[in-house]
Structure 1
Amino acid sequence: MAAFVLLVVVWELAKLVLPAGGLTIGDTRLLPRTDDGAMPHVWSVLAALGAPEVGGGAATRTVGGAVAQSALFTLVLSLGGLVIGGVLGIALALVMQRFRLVERAALPYVVASQTVPLIAIAPLVAGWGGKIAILGWAWQPWTSVMVISSYLSFFPIAVGMLRGLASPAKPDVELFHTLAAGWWTTLLRLRLPAAVPHLLPAVRLATAAAVVGAIVAEISTGTRGGIGRLIIEYAQSATGDPSRMYTAILGAAVLGLVAAGAVGLLDLVLRRYRGSVA
């Protein structure tokens, strides 16, 4: 809430202080435009939330209702992608910790996978997935969004989990070996509890990546129903008044906060393990 209030204050101060046409020296723009066509007032954006999305309809939904519905659609896909990426990342981290050869072989490829631009991957996933049909179930457009979201959330969880599994002190590991504890017992009693303080920040980072990945995937693949597609639709119609476009951007920001709050529940469940590093 404090961050939102600060953003509103900075936004309105920029409109008040900076020149409406921006500041350009030669071909370089140093300051952005601050007129109502580029930066509407905050109250104009809030007022647009209550306006009907389509004028003249008998039972049309409001802009705020459309933003909320689209944000909920993207939230479900983001959390689904987070779960898929998290399960795959944790599984790979367990295998890499168990077999050092797998870690040396797979970790460079895991890191390199994040250097591929997302906007280039999205059409490939949509194109390949569109040809998949299993037992009568056909690949849906929203499936591509969830897969791309899991692709971005997979990396931080895999790396954070691997670091956490390797975090126990050497004397602690040797003590378990002295007590004839096997790999599975050592994993459950020592490595997993010690990995929690490393895993939670990784999940928070993965949540933000999952939301961003879902929004970009919706834009790249043209998937309808999500907040990403709504931003494009409102931007195309924002010729004279961009307030409607900023309502969709506001919905995307709130979407990120809600997703982060959902991950905060995991923090509460695992609170007892947060001091394992110390």
Structure 2
Amino acid sequence: MRPLRRLAVGVLAGLAAAAIWELYTLLGPDAGGHLFGASLLPRAEARSMPHVWDVVARMLAPESSATGAPSVAVAMLQACWFTLRVALAGWLAGVVAGFGLAIGMQRFRLAESAVFPWVVLSQTVPLIALAPLVVGWGGKIQVGDLVWERWMSVALIASYLAFFPVAVGALRGLQSPEQAHVELFRAQAASPWRTFRSLRLPASVPYVIPALRLAAATAVVGAIVAEVSTGTKGGIGRLIIAYAQAASGDPAKPWAAIVGAALLGLVAAGLVSLLSLGLGRYRHSEVS
């Protein structure tokens, strides 16, 4: 029943968001809200905030007037599938890097003191500035027949965002066992590997699962931003840019792509949540 309750809450949250959107379009100022020349509230007129039903109708309409053009929904699904695969690659790399850092920081206190501040500081670097550097470095990499492709740069940038929540969550989880339990393993002359496998790793599950979900969502965000910054074609990020060019005459079109990107993040986080189904016995104290 718990997954069904979560699904119901998610649907209700979506309906509430749509209701708030429509309420603002009805009562909000058409010119937006300004204070001392700074814009505080978005414009509520139809070209800036189309109705929810107009966005849904636009998804079902053809993408363009060309003969045989797919609907916006079909084009959006194709783009989301491309971005999801790239984000998955970045998520896997981020999970490996984040969990590896967490293990090293938990095992050696000096490593935690030296590395953890840099882990936090890494998230202050803007992706827009990082993306051209990654593309430039990747363009010089060639190992035998393996050539660095543009999507690999996108996946690397996605992993850059994904590793942070995994590193923090896994470190907190690995350090969560009570000292009495650690001393019990030590009294039984258990090796560090045995203590890690039998005590610290199971205890970290309630912390790691939420971190993995957050990492999946951030990987999708990183992939979308990287697609825009690097000019990678085929993903939802470039589709948002392409649809935004028609915003003045077709305002619902770019919003359809934005909704698709938001749903993609939810799908990615939901897929990761499936991992927790096989870890039910470790989730009695899961931190959400």
| Offset, 1:252 | 0.5
Larger deviation, residues 88-97 vs 37-46: 88-97
May I ask how many residue pairs the two structures share in their alignment? 277
Q: Which amino acid aligns with 1:85?
A: G
Q: How many angstroms does 1:111 deviate by?
A: 1.6
1:144 is aligned to 153
Please list, as runs of the form range in 1=range in 2, the aligned pairs for 1:57-206 lying within 5 A after superposition: 57=67, 59-206=68-215
Moved over 4 A (4+): none
**In the superposition, relative to structure 1, how do residues 98 and 73 fare at CA in structure 2: closer, same or farther (>3 Å)?**
same
Q: Aligned-pair distance for 1:228?
A: 0.7
State the 1:277 CA deviation.
7.5
SS for the counterpart of 2:182 is helix
What percentage of residue pairs aligned between the two structures are identical? 55
Q: CA deviation at 1:100?
A: 2.2
Change (3 A) 1:24 1:88: closer
Q: What is the distance in 2 between the residues matched to 1:24 and 1:113?
A: 35
In structure 2, do the counterparts of structure 1 residues 180 and 30 end up closer, same or farther at CA, with 3 Å as the change threshold?
closer
**Residue of structure 1 in register with 2:263 after alignment:** 254
TM-score, normalized by length of structure 2?
0.92
Aligned mates of 1:219, 1:49 — CA distance in 2? 22
What do you get for the CA RMSD once the two structures are aligned?
1.6
Query: Deviations for 1:66-100, whole angstroms, at most 9, x for unmatched residues?
Result: 11111111111112211110011111211222222
CA distance in 1, matches of 2:86, 2:178: 38
With over 3 angstroms needed to count, the CA separation of the structure-2 counterparts of 1:104 and 1:29, relative to structure 1, is closer
Structure 1 alignment gaps of length 5 or more:
none
Map Cα deviations across residues 169-218 of structure 1 (whole Å, 9 max, x no partner).
11111111111111111111100011111111211221221111111111
CA drift of 1:251 comes to 0.3
Give the secondary structure class of the aligned counterpart of 1:29.
strand
CA separation of 1:29 and 1:94: change in aligned 2, threshold 3 A: closer
Identify which range, 7-16 or 102-111, moves more after superposition.
Answer: 102-111
Aligned residue among 5, 14, 26 for 2:15: 5
